[in-house]
Structure 1
């Protein structure tokens, strides 16, 4: 079955029987010509199958009737192939009739079905769709197309009949030619239809363009007409106004003259405008004009009229005020101005903006704008501000921190708002109006402020201290002071083992900063929220709390623990030296305290009645800390020198300075000296890291003096031969190097003199007089020189060489 569609035919039903007959004759004639063409010896088309013939007949019909749909059912065509050369094929006679069967229903549907009865062999039909699919491939490859066509024609068989293949190829070439002609015909038809549509579209477009041009011309004419009419209307209005204005002015002047005559007649007023209460506004406008006119007249001639008009003016003004309710009107105006005025997060900025926006309006509307502004401000303080305070300061007991912060913030911003409102001249010349308003709103909060401030500050300081000691795992002890208690602690420190807490100082600069910051905030709040007289007393109270928790509860407590941790007994092991860290941290805390006192506290109490008492409390506190630190340093240096004495006494032997072999070469220091120098150098490093400046020089000077006395006392305990004296010189030289690193001139000088004294033990007896006359010994007491000479083993023989003992 092979089908060709002509869709345009469906839109043109064939109801005419004559058209059917013509189609019948054309079909029979066309098929006859197809056979004749196919069997002609000169024909270029050689058909070898029913499929080829079917395709050819369908193609020729379609060329003549492209808009109709044909259905061919070619059953069979009997033909005979005569032996002809392989280059061509021809048909014999057709023994069967060609029967064309028309159906009435098919004629009405414009469909012709041609049936040819089959009498011989059936052969396979080929479809145009195969060519379309192959030809529409992208990209098209001619070689690939021929390969696929050959494969289809041979059925994929390896045995190929060349003549048969040639015949089939010729059939396919004919089919392709018919397909090409078919598409060319369709293209031509479509091009004609496209050109027709294009012409129709262009004609429509030109017609619409002309219509649009006509519409624009009419619109311009209409606009011109409207302008002409409006010009005439405006001109007519101007003429009417020029006529009406003089007439209205003349009528107004006439009315003024009539009413002025009433006042001039010295009779009661009889006009309805002045006697009818419902025409109060008209009478007010009239009396205002009459008052203005009367002011321009001569007072000598029209004084009576002027007085009557003035009285009537005051009367009408009073009636208007009563009619409109001035106070109620003022209240309503104030309330109306505050509607939607406080939409922002900051009511203070909203209030200032409202006043700035309202002031020009008040100056234009009200005769006394300051009074209205005062009313507006009063309403704000007793309304919105009071509501804000109640909201933010409601939870007092549960959150004192937020309460005090909010109170300080609200009060400071209120004062800033008051300063800004002063430029609006609120309440005129009454300078106490705004301060009184502030006091009325904040009074109950300011009265309770001192109590809450003290409570909050004490709780904060206690909390900071407790958290600090809990972090150290320390339970705070009660340390009492006094003569008996101090004596008891001294005896325990001398006889019992002391607790050093692992070297913990129990001092914290961070804790001190927190307490100082809390008190600083409290001083700022006190300065703002308290009256001047009360501020000084409150400042003293806050200062007492600062001294109590920073020094009494923290610094003094830590120093007392450190003092208790320093043993007063002669140490047999290296004593702890963490008291120097206590000195360093206490000094840092005191520096922070002194800075805050100068920057924040003293400016608040300067030239007040509490200045002297606060200064005295500060000095007493610092003197107390200084005394405790000095006591601790005294004990620490005693323990340090005590351990030096222990090292010297336990490690130094008499044989060190009186060896049996006097010819032994001495080049190094003794073991005792080595241990002492190592220990004393380490301690000096710790001291230098803990203190600086004058304090460092004072401590190192005291340490050097005690170290010198300890070494000197140790030297007096031995006698020395020449080899022992050389070892002593080596030891003293190491002590001197150690002391010179401290850069204390007095200590360095003492060890230089000690080295010169030790040299007396080395020189031969004959040179003793010369050695004693050395410049290094010029400042040394002669008795001390004599004592050193007596330490020589050969003292009895050596003194014979001395001129003066």
Structure 2
């Protein structure tokens, strides 16, 4: 150590001015070596006596005594510094010497140890080394035993210390109890007035005395208990008054002291209640009068409209939740600074926020929405759930369980270990729940009244059913009036009965994200493109005037409207255009269903989601499937069945229904695969059930579409048959050759070609793919069979043969426009068959053995050859071969052609590609290979499903939507 050199000055004479003994004691080395040395105190001690003397002497202040004293002290300190410096130098020198000796000795020991260790490793171990090892082991065991003994002694000391503290606490309790029994509170009152520590000690004593008074039954116990209760009540009121006063002044230190004291006294629940109850957030006038803000929002105009885009938040609720976020952020800091148990206080505050502020606001909103419509209620319920869920996520960072103050933790430990006379429940407000669990429970309690059990699903199903029923009322009314022959108890009656009983469908209450509404948004554009891509040759639109949007006004009004539709004297006029099937209606119904599924995802537990999705899907199937698509198909069938057979059938309207049904089913399948089925991925059973249900629904619609298409085919065949019946016996055996040459075709041919062209145009406009091919193939094959049967009945002259050839060429050209290769080959055969009436007799045998006619047995051509006017002049042996019975072939051919006719009639009710085609071709052509070829092509065209898809349609049908 070093000091600054002193300034040279004249040294005072020590003999003339001796140093005061008090100052001499202060100038010793021990004074400066103390840890409590303070320079100010040192100067004050040296000057204390001089100051007193200066004050006692009259006259002006004389500094000379101070100068002499301080100069003498400085001289002594300089000498003392020199002595300390010399001593320090000596000690440093001796320390360096000792360090050198220590290092030298350590190196010598290290070398000796290494030498001895190497020798021990090389030489066999002597007995002395083993004994040394045993000594070390014994020493280690003794050290371990001593350590255990020390631990036992420490535990005993700790228990003795705790016993002493308990004894002291028991002594204090007995002492204060005796004072309370005498009505004397002076001692405890004096302790309370000692300040903060005194109040805390009083709180602990009162808590323990209260616990004792509940179990003690001795003399004067009643008086002591009464006095104790009075004093406890007074103490608590004083502390609460002090807390309230400091709370209003904004003094966090006093608030923290009061909270800690009351925590020690009775758990601090009353303190927390005062803090929460008097918070401005709960008592401000603007918060109390917030009900007026509900009337001012424009949300109520949007909620009942199912087509209106729902806003992402309610402005009033959003403002309240934002205020809560701000308030909680501020209060978290205050609670953490004031209360010793911040997690409990924060939970009490947030529970009050949820139970009072949020719940009252949500109840007012839902009550008003419920008065408007069920849809408004459900939409607002989802809106509130989404906003409050976001609030819960924003409040999670305010978990104060990790910042419990050390003092409260220490107090809890002391209370649980020292105080055996009281229970733990008497000390605090209880253990706080996990913060996240508390928030989730508070939010769940807000909505449990609306979603418990099957309440939510029942309301959702009923609302969706009401929307669909009101939306389809005009459509149903039109179809009920069209189906005058239909029996009662149709779809509308079933829905009305279900709605009046309060359930739209059977309920079965039973799991990222992502949602049904967004999935349907992808389908919205898909539906519009589907109208063009599915039917590229179409020019007409499958749409029609869309029914008006319902307002979900209730079941009573809907049932009343339905009753007027089915009864007499309708008060509301309907237009037939309201009953036209269109894709926009299906899109809108799917959109409403997607919104309901989105709400279901938000409000339903993950375990119940698959069953809830299936339930809502059944509501959709009942309305869109049975009430819309199936009703349109059934009405179209009824109209075909009850039409006047003398009038030409309306093919285009019936096929237009099938076209729209195809588009709706495709849209439904896409919607199911994109939006519904992924929501059931958490349940294998639920996924299988919804896939089976959708498959059955589409299969049922396919069956009705097949039935309608068969009705269309039957009506076309009936009309063709009627046109062929107009054929006259003289059409192909004319009397006036000039007039026959003047006509291009006969009247039946013109009528048949005209209807076939209309069938072709309507089919290509409304059908596509394999459905179009199977439909036109069935028409062409049936008409081919009818022509074969038809031309056996009319005699043909040489001139009439030309007319017949022109008719057959017209038939062939018209069917060729179908674009079906199998039909082209068939009608080429029938054209060549017509040429047998133009060929001269001498070359007739050569002609019938060539090309298509050469592939069949020539005897099968006998019924047609017999219609030649020169049939009697032809040599049968030359034409058909010797040894043939002229009557037997006729009988055989007649039976064959009768069989062909029966098979053709049967073909109208069989799926294309069955045995009818192969049998007919075998009988007509007699060539097995050719029959196999045409049968294979017909079977391919009659599959009714696109490549790569699996049809679930009913057997024996033509139409398939390819549901997989």
Structure-2 residue corresponding to 1:440 = 445
**Distance of 1:657 and 1:699 partners within structure 2:** 31
Structure-1 residue corresponding to 2:680 = 605
**Distance of 1:585 and 1:509 partners within structure 2:** 6
**Distance of 1:249 and 1:644 partners within structure 2:** 135
Three-state SS of the structure 2 residue aligned to 1:454 is helix
Three-state SS of the structure 2 residue aligned to 1:522 is helix
The partner residue of 1:459 within 436, 446, 466 is 466
Mapping 1:352-371, distance limit 5 Å: 352-359=325-332, 369-371=342-344
How far residue 532 of structure 1 moved from its aligned partner, in angstroms, is 3.5
Structure-2 residue corresponding to 1:788 = 864
Structure-2 residue corresponding to 1:386 = 359
Unaligned 5+ segments in structure 1 are: 1-244, 252-271, 286-313, 483-500
Is 1:338 the counterpart of 2:284? The answer is no
8 A contact 1:507–1:555 mirrored in 2 = yes
Structure-1 residue corresponding to 2:639 = 565
> 1:645-686: per-residue Cα shift (whole Å, max 9, x none)?
212221x32222112356875783223212221221012211
8 A contact 1:393–1:406 mirrored in 2 = yes
Structure-2 residue corresponding to 1:556 = 630
Mapping 1:142-541, distance limit 5 Å: 277-278=192-193, 280=195, 319=261, 327-331=269-273, 336=279, 338=281, 345=316, 346=318, 347-359=320-332, 369-395=342-368, 396=370, 398-425=372-399, 429=434, 431-447=436-452, 448-469=455-476, 474=481, 479=487, 506-541=580-615
8 A contact 2:479–2:635 mirrored in 1 = no
Cα 1:667–1:319 change in 2 (3 A) is closer
Structure-2 residue corresponding to 1:643 = 719
How far residue 627 of structure 1 moved from its aligned partner, in angstroms, is 1.7
**Distance of 1:608 and 1:426 partners within structure 2:** 42
Structure-2 residue corresponding to 1:296 = none
Structure-2 residue corresponding to 1:722 = 798
Unaligned 5+ segments in structure 2 are: 1-37, 45-186, 201-255, 291-314, 403-433, 491-574, 885-964
> 1:740-773: per-residue Cα shift (whole Å, max 9, x none)?
1111111111111111221222111222233223
**Distance of 1:249 and 1:449 partners within structure 2:** 84
How far residue 537 of structure 1 moved from its aligned partner, in angstroms, is 3.3
Is 1:802 the counterpart of 2:873? The answer is no
CA-based RMSD? 4.3
8 A contact 1:658–1:723 mirrored in 2 = yes
Structure-1 residue corresponding to 2:941 = none
> 1:727-747: per-residue Cα shift (whole Å, max 9, x none)?
111111111111111111111
Cα 1:479–1:601 change in 2 (3 A) is farther
Cα 1:425–1:611 change in 2 (3 A) is same
> 1:307-344: per-residue Cα shift (whole Å, max 9, x none)?
xxxxxxx9999548669995555455556473779797
Structure-2 residue corresponding to 1:493 = none
The partner residue of 1:582 within 636, 657, 669 is 657
Cα 1:538–1:759 change in 2 (3 A) is same
Cα 1:247–1:655 change in 2 (3 A) is farther
**Distance of 2:661 and 2:577 partners within structure 1:** 15
**Distance of 1:280 and 1:746 partners within structure 2:** 111
Three-state SS of the structure 1 residue aligned to 2:349 is helix
How far residue 643 of structure 1 moved from its aligned partner, in angstroms, is 1.1
Range 533-542 or range 709-718, more displaced: 533-542
Normalising by structure 2, what TM-score?
0.46
**Distance of 2:577 and 2:827 partners within structure 1:** 33
The partner residue of 2:772 within 675, 679, 696 is 696
> 1:620-655: per-residue Cα shift (whole Å, max 9, x none)?
2222222222122212211112111212221x3222
Three-state SS of the structure 2 residue aligned to 1:573 is coil
Cα 1:596–1:745 change in 2 (3 A) is same
Cα 1:779–1:518 change in 2 (3 A) is farther
**Distance of 1:712 and 1:365 partners within structure 2:** 105
Is 1:759 the counterpart of 2:702? The answer is no
Cα 1:475–1:399 change in 2 (3 A) is farther
Structure-1 residue corresponding to 2:746 = 670
**Distance of 1:367 and 1:250 partners within structure 2:** 45
**Distance of 2:401 and 2:873 partners within structure 1:** 112
Cα 1:685–1:283 change in 2 (3 A) is same
**Distance of 2:378 and 2:367 partners within structure 1:** 12
Three-state SS of the structure 1 residue aligned to 2:838 is coil
How far residue 689 of structure 1 moved from its aligned partner, in angstroms, is 1.6
**Distance of 2:482 and 2:754 partners within structure 1:** 37
Three-state SS of the structure 1 residue aligned to 2:473 is helix
Three-state SS of the structure 1 residue aligned to 2:796 is coil
How far residue 387 of structure 1 moved from its aligned partner, in angstroms, is 1.3
Is 1:741 the counterpart of 2:715? The answer is no
8 A contact 2:849–2:858 mirrored in 1 = no
8 A contact 1:666–1:727 mirrored in 2 = no
> 1:259-314: per-residue Cα shift (whole Å, max 9, x none)?
xxxxxxxxxxxxx9x977456359999xxxxxxxxxxxxxxxxxxxxxxxxxxxx9
Structure-2 residue corresponding to 1:634 = 710
Cα 1:773–1:367 change in 2 (3 A) is farther
How far residue 529 of structure 1 moved from its aligned partner, in angstroms, is 1.8
Structure-2 residue corresponding to 1:159 = none
Cα 1:426–1:737 change in 2 (3 A) is farther
Is 1:544 the counterpart of 2:544? The answer is no
8 A contact 1:468–1:511 mirrored in 2 = no
**Distance of 1:417 and 1:704 partners within structure 2:** 69
Cα 1:319–1:796 change in 2 (3 A) is same
Three-state SS of the structure 2 residue aligned to 1:655 is coil
> 1:571-627: per-residue Cα shift (whole Å, max 9, x none)?
322123232122122222222322222223222334254433333332222222222
**Distance of 2:381 and 2:695 partners within structure 1:** 34
**Distance of 2:578 and 2:731 partners within structure 1:** 41
Q: Which has the higher relative contact order, 1 or 2, with Cα contacts under 8 A spaced 6 or more apart?
A: 2
